[in-house]
Amino acid sequence: MNMSENMPGNTKHELQEAIRSINSTLGKCEKAITKLKPGTSSHTLTKRRIEAFNIAVSLIERELRNEYTAENPVDELKLRLFYDGDIPLMERWLYAPHVAAWYKHPDHWLRELRERRGEFSFLSHYIVEYEEKAVGFCQYYDCFHSRLHEVWNDEWKVGDKQGEVFSIDYLIGETEYLRRGLGKRIVAELMGKLRAIGAIRCIVSLEPDNIASRRVLEANGFTMRNGDYVLNIAESTKTKQVKSGG
């Protein structure tokens, strides 16, 4: 229920004042009820008043919260852990034409997710939530471990030991969330995670005509080296924070 529709003209200040006034009366009722004998009509009346005041306070608080949210759009992007229940969603995204163009083997991706507690436990998978809605997927992994599954020809790509060189993958599955700056923010979040675990370098191989993906990486400070995009994470701590919309 939107109370402002029912009570046109109530300003935020009026609602705050109403809460103050109700709370003060509520306090008096709560004090009074301790002196009344349960079962008497005055006890029952006071009890009902207290309940009614509590409802009024919570409705006004809700209205104030709604007003706050409208004034301050959430704009929250979150990476949360991938759950088994996300697999059908991921399947839908992998077969969406804008993703399938670059993610050629959906069955491989789905197998990695299904086996993520076993053979593919070196990957860290996340669902991207924007304003609490699941809109995409991303992951990072240590290239030292992934060389069992993919061919990295150059030694500098895999690192001498684990924990040094990482790679990432990302996609926005929900088309209405494309081109809103979220891709850049997802990569920024992933770089934050890699930085936190002490990664030295992040390398991303991508098809040269994937312009959106290239732009996302460039916005995060990646540069091209021998056909791959590379970011020296330790040196990039001062790169500008990436925001939505540009």
Ligand X SMILES: CC(C)(COP(=O)(O)OP(=O)(O)OC[C@H]1O[C@@H](n2cnc3c(N)ncnc32)[C@H](O)[C@@H]1OP(=O)(O)O)[C@@H](O)C(=O)NCCC(=O)NCCS
- The reply to whether 57 sits near ligand X by the rule CB under 6 A is no
CB 173 within 8 A of CB 96: yes
* Choice between 47 and 180, CB closer to ligand X: 180
User: How many Å apart are CA 83 and CA 89, to the nearest integer?
Assistant: 11
Distances (CA, A) of 7 to 19, 60, 170, 234: 15, 11, 46, 55
Q: Which of residues 207-236 bind ligand X (CB under 6 A)?
A: 210-213, 215-216, 219
- The reply to whether 138 sits near ligand X by the rule CB under 6 A is no
Segment contacting ligand X by CB under 6 A, of 46-54, 57-65, 139-147, 170-178: 170-178
The burial of 110, by beta-carbon neighbours within 10 Å (0-12 exposed, 13-18 middle, 19 or more buried), is given as middle
Tell me which residue has tokens 């929250």: 76
* Choice between 26 and 190, CB closer to ligand X: 190
- The reply to whether 118 sits near ligand X by the rule CB under 6 A is no
* Choice between 85 and 97, CB closer to ligand X: 97
* Choice between 80 and 215, CB closer to ligand X: 215
Beta strand 201-204 with 77-81: parallel, antiparallel or unpaired?
Answer: unpaired
Smallest separation (angstroms) from ligand X to the CB of 198 = 24
Segment contacting ligand X by CB under 6 A, of 38-46, 106-114, 164-172, 190-198: 164-172
Q: Choose which of 183, 188, 190, 230 interacts with ligand X (CB under 6 A).
A: 183
Count of residues near ligand X by CB under 6 A: 22
Smallest separation (angstroms) from ligand X to the CB of 210 = 5
Smallest separation (angstroms) from ligand X to the CB of 137 = 9
- Nearest residue to ligand X by CB is 183
Q: Choose which of 180, 193, 236, 239 interacts with ligand X (CB under 6 A).
A: 180
User: How many Å apart are CA 145 and CA 175, to the nearest integer?
Assistant: 32
Q: Point out which residues pair with 81 in neighbouring strands.
A: 126
Distances (CA, A) of 100 to 30, 107, 116: 63, 11, 21
Residues 6+ apart with CB under 8 A from 93: 99, 136, 137, 171, 173, 174
* Choice between 109 and 120, CB closer to ligand X: 109
- The reply to whether 77 sits near ligand X by the rule CB under 6 A is no
- The reply to whether 58 sits near ligand X by the rule CB under 6 A is no
Task: Retrieve residue 217's tokens.
Answer: 């990486």
User: How many Å apart are CA 201 and CA 233, to the nearest integer?
Assistant: 5
Give the interface with ligand X as residue ranges (CB under 6 A): 98-99, 102, 170-172, 178-184, 206, 210-213, 215-216, 219, 246
